[in-house]
Amino acid sequence: MIRSVPRVSADQHGADQHGASHGQTLLLRASSITKTFRADGTAVSAVRGVDLMLGHGEFAAIMGPSGSGKSTLLHLLGGLERPTSGEIWLNGRRVDGLSQAKWAVLRRQHIGFVFQFFNLVSNMTVADNVELAALMGGATKRQARERRDELLADLGLSAKADAAPARLSGGEQQRVALARAMVNRPSLLLADEPTGNLDSSGSQSVLRLLTRAHADGQAILLVTHDARVASAAERVISLFDGMIADDAAMRPPRAKPSQRRPAPLPTVLRLRG
């Protein structure tokens, strides 16, 4: 099943014919993926044949009713669950058959994942949760601290840096989970309802961060129920009953020139200029 072991190096655009479409390289391609859960002799088909392509730097939102398979789809695309059938290609390489260990390496360097229920490390401070992810992604201690402080400030969490996650509100924990997922500037951010627990000012800071990440060239695929968040995306994919019911291009959002940042350097982490 494993055709090639992905090299987690600078080869970000090495798509072969399986990852290329209309001359544009694809970041992610899922082909006819399904996921059936079996428990107590019953089978639940959570994802029932999804074809999906996402380009480098593309920002797409997934919407759909509860139970339609949104979280399962995101887990499949991030390698947290293995598909029952179908293929997943990342940067032109087939990844659906990779071991958990190989997926972990891939995620650490290329994919940020925000879980619906945060999954923060409870016995570490907010700051350490974010910093550890940076260190695991290969940052030096100094880079990890700088990036951590920058993200916590962007998300209005500086005052909570030394708190334990349990002392935070749901919305604050959700923003810490986003900071952790973004700390290695992943080429792909997969986020499961990242504003689901936020008040409007929290949502705005998350939206600002996502818009800037998108302007920086990071691809984003997020599940949301929030029309405002979805309207920031270039594309809205509607999931219904484990299948894509609609996939609509929106008018591409444009960041104001003053909000634009220089194109990202090809390293995992950049020092702030």
SS3 for 247? strand
User: Minimal distance in Å, beta carbon 39 to ligand ADP?
Assistant: 5
Q: Decide: is 203 part of the binding site for Mg ion (CB under 5 A).
A: no
Three-state SS sequence of 54-115: EECCCEEEEECCCCCCHHHHHHHHCCCCCCCEEEEEECCEECCCCCHHHHHHHHHHHEEEEC
User: Minimal distance in Å, beta carbon 250 to Mg ion?
Assistant: 22
* Paired tokens of 17: 């014919």
CA atoms of 89 and 53, how far apart (whole Å): 9
CA atoms of 127 and 164, how far apart (whole Å): 9
- Please identify, using beta-carbon distances, which residue of 128 and 241 lies nearer to ligand ADP: 241
Interface residue with ligand ADP, options 28, 30, 31, 72 (CB under 6 A): 72
CA atoms of 134 and 268, how far apart (whole Å): 9
Which one of Mg ion, ligand ADP, none is in contact with 34 (Cβ closer than 5 to 8 A by kind)?
Answer: none
Interface residue with ligand ADP, options 5, 43, 44, 265 (CB under 6 A): 44
Q: Decide: is 78 part of the binding site for ligand ADP (CB under 6 A).
A: no
Q: Decide: is 211 part of the binding site for ligand ADP (CB under 6 A).
A: no
Q: Decide: is 258 part of the binding site for ligand ADP (CB under 6 A).
A: no
Q: Decide: is 197 part of the binding site for Mg ion (CB under 5 A).
A: no
Q: Decide: is 68 part of the binding site for ligand ADP (CB under 6 A).
A: yes
Which one of Mg ion, ligand ADP, none is in contact with 107 (Cβ closer than 5 to 8 A by kind)?
Answer: none
Facing residues of 61 across strands? 222, 236
CA atoms of 79 and 102, how far apart (whole Å): 9
- Please identify, using beta-carbon distances, which residue of 71 and 91 lies nearer to ligand ADP: 71
Write out the binding residues for Mg ion, residues 63-92 only, by CB under 5 A. 71
Nearest alpha-carbon partner for 182 in 151, 159, 224, 138:
151
Q: Decide: is 195 part of the binding site for ligand ADP (CB under 6 A).
A: no
- Please identify, using beta-carbon distances, which residue of 72 and 224 lies nearer to ligand ADP: 72
Q: What values do phi and psi take at 261, rounded to 5?
A: -115, 160
Please count the residues of this chain forming the interface with ligand ADP, following the rule CB under 6 A.
Answer: 12
User: Minimal distance in Å, beta carbon 192 to ligand ADP?
Assistant: 7
Per the CB < 8 A criterion, the answer to whether 177 and 130 are in contact is no
Which one of ligand ADP, Mg ion, none is in contact with 211 (Cβ closer than 5 to 8 A by kind)?
Answer: none
Interface residue with ligand ADP, options 31, 52, 61, 71 (CB under 6 A): 71
Q: How many CB atoms lie within 10 A of CB 225?
A: 15
Per the CB < 8 A criterion, the answer to whether 235 and 60 are in contact is yes
User: Minimal distance in Å, beta carbon 116 to Mg ion?
Assistant: 5
Contacting positions for Mg ion (CB under 5 A): 71
Please give the residue ranges that form the binding site for ligand ADP (CB under 6 A): 37, 39, 44, 46, 64, 66-72
